[in-house]
Amino acid sequence: MPFYGGNELSQVYDEALEEDFGLVASNVAEPDVAMGLMDGAASVDSDLLIQMSAGACRFAGNGDAEAGLRAMGNYIDTMAEQYDIGVFLNMDHQTDMDFIEMQIESDIPSSIMIDASHEDFEENIRQSKKVVDMIDEKDADILVEAELGQIKGVEDEIVAEEAFYTDPDDAVEFVDRTGADLLAISVGTQHGVAKGKDLELKPDLASEISETLADHGLEIPLVLHGTSGLQPAQVEDMMGRGICKMNKDTRYQYEYTRTLFDHYLDHKDEIVPPEGVEDQRDSFYNDTEWSPNKDHFDPRVGGRLVRERIEEVHADLAELSSSAGNSMFSK
């Protein structure tokens, strides 16, 4: 079935809040990871939230972010027809209002994350509310995620040298004044390569934020960014505290490269001339007895391996976040 819009995604989040599970929001920049994610989610009957950053859109569009979004959006929409799960697209860490306006007018995303967390409180509110208002004016079927607090690390082109935890009372004012549908909070996770044992996680703060919002009639899904380094016990501890969306990017990036690296290393002498054989790459080894083995250097071989590994990883993560078995759209 085709990927869905904000109304259907909102239904998934409502169910997640009620049943204490979360979607593993997974970043992509090219088709093999996207395909692996769809295979993985379908294998465990979980709905799927794919994400693209502005940088990923530029990569997919050969420098043109709008072209990249349209290309990957069409690809995801077409391929999602093969699966009996809900597939959604979130635009991750968006800061460029012109690009956000294009996203709204295209009606491609299911949700957009406006990231003004690096700004002061009032400016964060202003920018976040502006995106909500832009969507309302267009009557677009798109949810808005905003962020309050600051998560340490590097994500796409956004750099934060230190973390600032989210204050529960500030969260109430922020959600009330912006009208955001989801709130990304800072409770000790970290963007990029981070080890769970080194993080100063505050799961009780997530609970306090969720409960304080609910006490003011503002119960909305909470989001954790920078979760690639979290260990299973840490993820399980976060579920049931209002967290309904858990972002993963770095983990997939590593699995992509590591899968290809392992394959090429295992078959090195069939891809690269062994010692003693002249590297006649430009003539495609016309004057040597040795030849490369297409069974190992064909890009489709590596691509299939990447898809299979991403499928395994995402299926495991969906089990961990308890979204497995909870697709609202499976037949």
Helix 250-266 / helix 31-43 crossing angle, nearest 10 deg: 100
Task: Give the three-state DSSP class for 223.
Answer: strand
Distance, CA of 140 to CA of 143 (rounded, Å): 9
Instruction: Please tell me the total number of residues recorded for the chain in this structure.
Output: 331
Close Cβ partners of 286 (under 8 Å, ≥ 6 residues apart): 280
Catalytic residue chosen out of the listed positions 32, 92, 156, 167: 92
With contact defined as beta carbons under 8 Å apart, do 34 and 76 qualify?
yes
Distance, CA of 259 to CA of 18 (rounded, Å): 37
Catalytic residue status for 92: yes
Task: Give the three-state DSSP class for 26.
Answer: strand
How far is the CA of 35 from the CAs of 47, 140, 307, 313, in angstroms?
14, 27, 6, 13
- Other CB atoms closer than 10 Å to residue 31's CB: what's the count? 16
Helix 299-321 / helix 250-266 crossing angle, nearest 10 deg: 140
DSSP 8-state assignment for residue 164: B
With contact defined as beta carbons under 8 Å apart, do 90 and 25 qualify?
yes
- Cα within 13 Å of Cα(311), Cβ side: 16
With contact defined as beta carbons under 8 Å apart, do 34 and 79 qualify?
yes
Active site residues: 92
